[in-house]
Chains A and B, each alone.
Chain A
Amino acid sequence: MLLAAGVEPSWYLVLASALFAIGATGLLIRRNPLVMFMCVELMLNAVTLTFVTFSRMLDDIGGQAVVVFVLVVAAAEVVVGLGIIVAILRRRPDATADDLALLKG
């Protein structure tokens, strides 16, 4: 039944929202800053999948062009974010997101 029906474009959207929700949950649960960063990448990928799916549903190349910009922003974000994480973890190898409480001074 399921296989005979053929794939609907909306299935991709449901999958993308599932990926986004998993990434958001991981971002809230995990305390290792590197893993939190990977969860952000997961959420960005869910959004790009949504863009490509809408591009196909509406037959509009604009959705695919936006994905290129998302990729550029993701690359810049990873470079700067990992630089900050390296600068912090070099001094405190056991730092987690909970150590932000130290900023209270």
Chain B
Amino acid sequence: METFVFLVAAAICLAGAFGVVLSKNPVHSALSLVGTLFGVAVLFVAQNANFLAAVQVIIYAGAIVVLFLFVIMLLGVDRAEDLKVDPLVGQRAAAIVAGVAIFALPVAALAATGWEATGAVSNLGPVAASDVPDIEGIGRVLFTRYIFALEITSILLAIAVVGAVMLAKKSPRAVDMIVDLPARQVAEPVTADVDGPGDATADAPSEEGTA
């Protein structure tokens, strides 16, 4: 039974992953990502990690992907990207070679150990005792051994909220400093050909830039 569940969920995961990478439209990529996240959640259930499966569906598929879709719709960047063009010649082939190497390295390491985990077991306790479900074990570990790390993550979340508010705030000067780059280098030779006004317009942006 677990073999059947694994094969189906693995097929969904891989199809979704290829969909993320190969979809021309970012909206299709986001929807494929939902498929992969759901497949991973099924694999969590198959391995008795029920709490993490619920968290996976709620936070990843429910919150993070919705955030992605919200940004795509907000910015209106949901148009197709031409995957045929290869701006850096050879980048695509090199990326595929690197991907195959990244896949082969852990599999080779796993094969070298005889397909077994060789690490030492910590003293945090078993996954699920007969009377203790997995959520209780996770809670016990998080609030005893990892309590300091848990408090640090709350600080991290607070910093992330402040950072998101700062980035989203309508502060024209700050945003100009970050993203108002010179439009394109193509425009410069045209202004250089003009004698009088060309110098004046060439000076003005540089003064703004230094100010």
Contacts and interface: CB of A to CB of B under 8 A. Distances in A.
- Which of A32, A35, A92 counts the most chain B CB atoms within 10 A? A35
Interface in B149-163: 149, 153, 156-157, 159-161, 163
Interface in B174-210: 175, 178-182
B36 A17 contact: no
Consensus secondary structure, chain A interface:
helix
Interface residues of A, number: 79
A77 B159 CA distance: 11
Contact of B102 (A10, A24, A55, A72): A24
Interface in A60-104: 60-62, 64-65, 67-69, 71-80, 82-93, 98, 102-103
Contacts of A62: 122, 124, 141
A87 B175 contact: yes
Contact of B68 (A9, A19, A54, A82): A82
Interface of A: 2-3, 5-15, 17-26, 28-32, 34-35, 37-39, 41-42, 45, 48-49, 52-62, 64-65, 67-69, 71-80, 82-93, 98, 102-103
Interface of B: 2-4, 6, 10, 13-14, 17-18, 20-21, 23, 26, 29-30, 33, 36-37, 40, 43-44, 46-49, 51-52, 55-56, 59-60, 63-64, 67-68, 71-72, 74-77, 81, 87, 91-92, 94-96, 98-100, 102-103, 105-107, 110, 115-117, 119, 121-122, 124-127, 134, 137-138, 141-142, 146, 149, 153, 156-157, 159-161, 163-164, 167-168, 175, 178-182
29 contacts: A10-B110, A10-B115, A12-B47, A19-B14, A22-B14, A22-B18, A22-B99, A24-B99, A28-B95, A29-B91, A30-B21, A38-B20, A38-B68, A41-B60, A52-B43, A54-B119, A56-B49, A62-B141, A64-B51, A65-B141, A72-B157, A77-B160, A78-B64, A79-B67, A79-B163, A82-B67, A86-B74, A87-B175, A87-B178
